[in-house]
Structure 1
């Protein structure tokens, strides 16, 4: 009965949202590239028909930091960190398939493992032999999975409100409605077609906590990039089959020096997940931020970068 009631609630929410925004057409990549690209933007063709948007900025001969964004976000979310790291570090950021300005072929299915491959191929082609990888949310899941797959290439691992720790429901959690819709096949079907704008402002305000950061320009960026050809299909892909369950013990095998950063007011991934990761990864350092939500790198860039730099300075030289 609970499942039926839950399904009806999801259908009702989806119908309401669809009624508010109806459907939305794709926005051509050329239009999006003109608005959200720029002098720092570059593109790389990778196997499987991927045309990956990335930026390689900062001090060319400095230690390398690779930044991986979260679900439905883009490399733009890292701009506050890039600006503060650039004087001393080489900073590589990228748009994963289904996100930002990266193009993927029809039928592409998003997965953590394929995202790890994208990061690996891109960094190898850019001659970044060793680096520190930092990931936020879904990108945090990609980062720790990369640490498991390619520990020999990493100097450090930074998990920012990272996904992956087995979820423990909290009474005060109010995740954005988009995640509820993604958890159900009916909701996913609606998300593949409806205009994402009715979801965006509400979801972003919940995630960012500080509503002053959620400007019209930020909402436009999330909405318009989600309307890139094929993105809505990819964002809702890979969820209809059996879901992989993470055994907590896997994190105990990570040997890379690790920093875990987590906002204590995060409503998307509870701070208990950050504490769990830090306790499970040998030697990991945990920093939590009172009153901060899901994206510390944007909400408190100065403080979070200062903590990041202290961690980077503590790592052994290459």
Structure 2
């Protein structure tokens, strides 16, 4: 009987959200040149890959240091990693990138967003930069791309860091208290009518409340942060591409994750409402030899919410790895 009231409550929330979107009216695309003028910085670089994707990336930190590659999550961009770039750049060469359909990366007509495409972009970019074996870290959707990269190219990695990563759903626990629902944006995306509305309407009414749930610490959700998420979501064709068929955070096969063979650190905030902490625990159980660190007060983006502690944990993990490893040619 409890399921019906919950369903009605969810329907009411969706109706309110969609009503707000309709009232906000349509939002036009923002040209890439306008976005680049606002969000690129002196460290920004662009390279066109063989598949026609023009990737926005930054190659920062110590040029001769051991390389670390950082991959952002869904609807985010490479700026999410700047706190780690600041804290790790004295020792490591830190490469960040915007995935296809995100940030300032431009895709060719007809490009379809997929995990396989993300793996391909990471592979092609790191080869163009002639990186030796590197540590790969990914947040959320970028975590899924990262562990899939580890499955496809284990010889190119020294280590893997999964930050609030998507992965196999946790096993049901009848004794566990019900968790807080995901941000409204994912509830809307799970509904075909909601996805259709988001393709043309202004995402701003959903952005601020969704970010506050993801960040937990609402003081981090500044007007500039909200503007960045909204503006980059309005890149030409971006809404259509990013929402095509998407219904929320993806899951994965436990058997697939068990195939990860590189040293792995799993990091997860216990207050994460986007990817529940049970997913992080499951990844820690399934990946052979994985180290698991849980943060009681953190949400979905510990690299931004608790940058000092999370960066220190990553540094300790990297320092524990073998000094050298010959990359795949």
Pick the TM interval, shorter chain: over 0.9
In the TM superposition, residue 6 of structure 1 has moved relative to its aligned partner by 8.7
Query: Contact conserved, 1:65 with 1:92, CA < 8 A, in 2?
Result: yes
Change (3 A) 1:182 1:6: farther
What SS is found at the alignment partner of 2:261?
A: coil
Paired residue for 1:308?
Answer: 314
1:184 pairs with 2:191 = yes
1:272 matched to 2:275? The reply is: no
What secondary structure, in the 3-state scheme, does the structure 2 residue paired with 1:70 have? coil
Cα 1:91–1:244 shift into 2, 3 Å: closer
Question: TM-score normalized by structure 1?
Answer: 0.94
Deviation at 1:93, TM superposition (A): 0.4
Asked if the contact 2:46–2:54 (Cα under 8 Å) also holds between the matched residues in 1, the reply is yes
In the TM superposition, what is the alpha-carbon distance from 1:17 to its structure 2 partner? 2.6
| Aligned position for 2:203 | 196
CA–CA distance in structure 2, aligned partners of residues 248 and 37 of structure 1: 38
1:221–1:23 CA distance, 2 compared to 1 (3 A) = same
1:38-95 Cα offsets, whole Å, 9 max, x none, are 1100001113321110001111111000000000000000000001111110111000
Name the residue aligned to 1:83: 86
**Counterpart position of 2:327:** none
Per-residue displacement from partner, 1:252-302 (whole Å, max 9, x unpaired)? 211100000000111111111111100110100000111110000000000
Matches of 1:244 and 1:294, distance apart in 2: 15
> What is the CA–CA distance in structure 2 between the aligned matches of 1:15 and 1:268, rounded to whole Å?
20
- Give runs of ≥4 in structure 1 deviating > 3 Å: 1-11, 167-170
CA deviation profile, 1:205-250 (whole Å, cap 9, x unmatched) = 000000000000110111111111111112102438xx98632122
Q: Structure 1: which 5+ runs fail to align?
A: none
1:216 aligns with 2:223: yes
Unaligned runs of 5+ in 2: 325-329
DSSP-derived class of the 1:253 partner = coil
Q: Using the alignment, how far apart are the partners of 1:192 and 1:47 within structure 2?
A: 28
Q: Which moved more, 1:66-75 or 1:9-18?
A: 9-18
Where does residue 152 of structure 2 map in the other structure? 149
RMSD: 2.1
- Secondary structure at 1:56's aligned position in 2? strand
Contact 1:10 1:187 in 2 (8 A): no
* Helix, strand or coil at the partner of 2:258: helix
CA displacement at 1:129 relative to structure 2: 2.8
Classify the secondary structure of the residue corresponding to 1:259: strand
Paired residue for 1:173? Answer: 180
Match of 2:110 among 87, 103, 107: 107
Q: What per-residue deviation string (whole Å, max 9, x for no partner) do you get for residues 24-43 of structure 1?
A: 00111111111100110000
